[in-house]
Structure 1
Amino acid sequence: MSDDGRNGRLAEAVGLREQGRQEEARDRLVELAARYPDDAEVAYQTAWAHDVLGLEAEAVPFYERALKSPGAGLSQGDRRGALLGLGSTFRILGRYEEAVATLRGAVEEFPDDGALRTFLAMALFNTGEHHESAQLLLNLLANTSGDPGVRTYRRAIEYYARDLNETV
């Protein structure tokens, strides 16, 4: 199959997913992934199709393939999405340590991404790292909230986020 055929079939499968035709999209993407095993974009879209259907365990190898694929690899946006998808999927599967490791690396790579920090906070909570989890969420809240009350107390929230156990 030519690259044009690959591109057309990939666009068609993504379109099916976007139309809510998840099973059809998944079937087409699994075929493409078999035909193009080193194609990061195809692997990422295939992982996503599995995730949408609640087939998290089946999504993992496709996320891993997408993130390790040689060649052109993923765009920055798709790489961020694949890291978030893999970390979130590990968390859903109860693979909390792998979720934390994946999401920590993602946050280091994309430090301004609030979604990655939020999912990392959830995974940290699952590993018993409640203090760090709350810190991440409080700092995210303080820095991104449009709520007037939060904005008024932003500095205090950031200060106490550093040490939630501090008392007077």
Structure 2
Amino acid sequence: MSDWQDRIDAVWEAAAGGVVDDDVITRIDAIAAERGSDDAEAAFARAGARDSAGRPDEAVPLYRRALELGLDGDRRAQATIQLASSLRNLGDVGGALALISAEQDAHPDSAYRDAIAAMHALALASAGQPERGLAVAILALVPHMPRYHRSMTAYAREIGGGDA
């Protein structure tokens, strides 16, 4: 891990359990500025600070910029989940669903597949499709169950109308 990332992590550690406010944003922004405006990691850090402070409208363009500039697999997945969450919170459920569906299709074996499925389920519920959301959540849980894979998969498909 780089010194730069260690310093970002230290800001988050200091803020753990507390309110993310202007001070946290200012501290993250100061560290991010060291890398310039064309750095994906810096844009991602800035977006996360705003998102955590309850400013999804400010976070969305920064997440989009980070993804545009290119993030590695884990960071890309995290930025996608966080962007989809922000879009959902801003009422753009369709945008959130499109983003999450594209991530699932492009990276089905992602280490973040369960978190992606959870975001998908939340977005579906927000879109007025709670049954499909429940089906997505159940299907994400199936691989973690010691038994009942076949029956739970069948139930999920039934609840979700066959397209979960």
Pairwise TM-score range, normalised by the shorter structure: 0.7 to 0.9
Partner of 2:29: 30
Is residue 43–residue 65 contact of structure 1 (8 Å, CA) maintained in 2? yes
Q: Give distance in 2, aligned partners of 1:130 and 1:139.
A: 14
Q: C-alpha displacement at 1:123, in angstroms?
A: 0.4
Q: Give distance in 2, aligned partners of 1:130 and 1:12.
A: 40
Cα RMSD for the two superposed structures: 2.4
Partner of 1:91: 88
Query: For each residue in 1:100-139, what CA deviation from the matched residue of structure 2 results, as whole angstroms up to 9, or x when unmatched?
Result: 1111112123324101011111101211233432221121
Q: Which amino acid aligns with 2:54?
A: G
The correspondence for 1:155, drawn from 145, 150, 154, is: 150
Q: Please, what TM-score do these two structures have when normalized by structure 1?
A: 0.78
| Percent of aligned pairs sharing the same letter | 30
The correspondence for 2:14, drawn from 15, 19, 22, is: 19
Task: List gaps (5 residues or longer) in structure 2.
Answer: none
Q: Secondary structure at the match of 2:15?
A: coil
Is residue 40–residue 66 contact of structure 1 (8 Å, CA) maintained in 2? yes
Q: Give distance in 1, aligned partners of 2:121 and 2:39.
A: 31
Q: Please, what TM-score do these two structures have when normalized by structure 2?
A: 0.79
Q: Give distance in 2, aligned partners of 1:162 and 1:35.
A: 47
Aligned residue pairs, count? 152
Q: Which amino acid aligns with 1:94?
A: G
Q: Which amino acid aligns with 1:27?
A: T
Q: Give distance in 2, aligned partners of 1:139 and 1:13.
A: 35
Is residue 60–residue 86 contact of structure 1 (8 Å, CA) maintained in 2? yes
Q: Secondary structure at the match of 1:19?
A: helix
Task: List gaps (5 residues or longer) in structure 1.
Answer: 1-6, 146-150
Partner of 1:148: none
Partner of 1:136: 136
Query: For each residue in 1:4-37, what CA deviation from the matched residue of structure 2 results, as whole angstroms up to 9, or x when unmatched?
Result: xxx7556424321221184434113334359712
Q: C-alpha displacement at 1:52, in angstroms?
A: 1.4
